[in-house]
Chains A and B, each alone.
Chain A
Amino acid sequence: MRALVIALGVAALAALESGCAAPEPWVKPYERERLADPIMRLSRDALADKHREHVYDVRESSRGATGVQGGGCGCN
Chain B
Amino acid sequence: MVATSPWVRLLRRVLARRPHHAVRASRLLGRTVVVGGALVAGAGVVHAVDLPEDRAEMMYHRYDGGGTRADGPALLIRKKVADRLSLTGSYFIDSVSNASIDVVTTASPYKEKRTEYSLGADYVYRDAMVSVSGTTSDEPDYKANTVSLDVSQEVFGGMTTVALGFSRGADKVGSRYQGFFDTAQHWRYRFGVTQILTPRWLMSVNLEAVSDNGYLGNPYRVAQVFGTTVLERYPRTRSSRAVKLRAVGDIGQGEQRAAIRGEYRYFWDNWDIKAHTVELGYTRYFGAQWLGEAFVRYNTQKQALFYSDNALSETLYVSRNKQLSDFNDVSIGAKGTYSVGRYADRFDVKLNAQYQFMRFRYKNFTDIRNGSLYSFDANVLELFVSATF
- B196, A73: Cβ atoms under 8 Å? yes
B355 CB, min distance to chain A CBs, angstroms: 11
17 A/B residue pairs, CB under 8 Å, sorted by A: A22-B5, A24-B4, A34-B200, A39-B283, A42-B204, A47-B76, A47-B384, A60-B275, A62-B301, A63-B210, A65-B244, A66-B206, A69-B192, A71-B204, A73-B194, A74-B194, A76-B154
- B240, A34: Cβ atoms under 8 Å? no
B49 CB, min distance to chain A CBs, angstroms: 6
Interface presence of B92 (CB below 8 A): yes
Interface presence of B277 (CB below 8 A): yes
Do most interface residues of chain B lie in helix, strand or loop, or is the interface mixed? strand
Q: Which 6 A-B pairs have the closest CB atoms?
A: A70-B192, A25-B157, A64-B208, A70-B163, A62-B267, A21-B3
- B30, A17: Cβ atoms under 8 Å? no
Cβ contacts A6-20/B at 8 Å (1 or 0 each) = 100110010011111
Per a CB cutoff under 8 Å, which of A21, A56, A69 touches B131? Answer: A69
Interface presence of B257 (CB below 8 A): yes
Interface presence of B59 (CB below 8 A): yes
- B32, A27: Cβ atoms under 8 Å? no
- Determine which residue in A39, A58, A73 has the highest number of CB atoms from chain B within 10 A of its CB, and name it: A39
B interface residues, how many (CB within 8 angstroms): 99
Q: CA–CA, A19 to B8, complex, Å?
A: 12
Residues of B within 8 A of A37 (CB): 250, 257, 259
Interface presence of B6 (CB below 8 A): yes
Q: CA–CA, A9 to B352, complex, Å?
A: 60
- A62, B192: Cβ atoms under 8 Å? no
Per a CB cutoff under 8 Å, which of B250, B265, B360 touches A39? Answer: B250
- A35, B196: Cβ atoms under 8 Å? yes
- A74, B32: Cβ atoms under 8 Å? no
A to B contact number (C-beta, < 8 Å): 238
- B382, A48: Cβ atoms under 8 Å? yes
Per a CB cutoff under 8 Å, which of B32, B196, B380 touches A55? Answer: B380
Residues of B within 8 A of A67 (CB): 192, 204, 206, 244, 246
Residues of B within 8 A of A34 (CB): 199-200, 250, 252, 257
Residues of A within 8 A of B234 (CB): none
Per a CB cutoff under 8 Å, which of A6, A42, A62 touches B277? Answer: A62
B residues 155-180 near A (Cβ < 8 Å) are 156-161, 163, 165
Interface presence of B329 (CB below 8 A): yes
Who on chain B is nearest to A64 by CB?
B208
Cβ contacts B16-34/A at 8 Å (1 or 0 each) = 0000000000000111110
A68 CB, min distance to chain B CBs, angstroms: 9
Cβ contacts B180-197/A at 8 Å (1 or 0 each) = 000000001011111011
Per a CB cutoff under 8 Å, which of B154, B196, B208, B356 touches A27? Answer: B196
Extra inter-chain contacts (11) besides given A47-B57, A64-B188, CB under 8 Å: A16-B5, A20-B5, A45-B384, A47-B61, A60-B301, A60-B323, A62-B242, A66-B206, A69-B150, A71-B192, A76-B49
- B275, A40: Cβ atoms under 8 Å? no
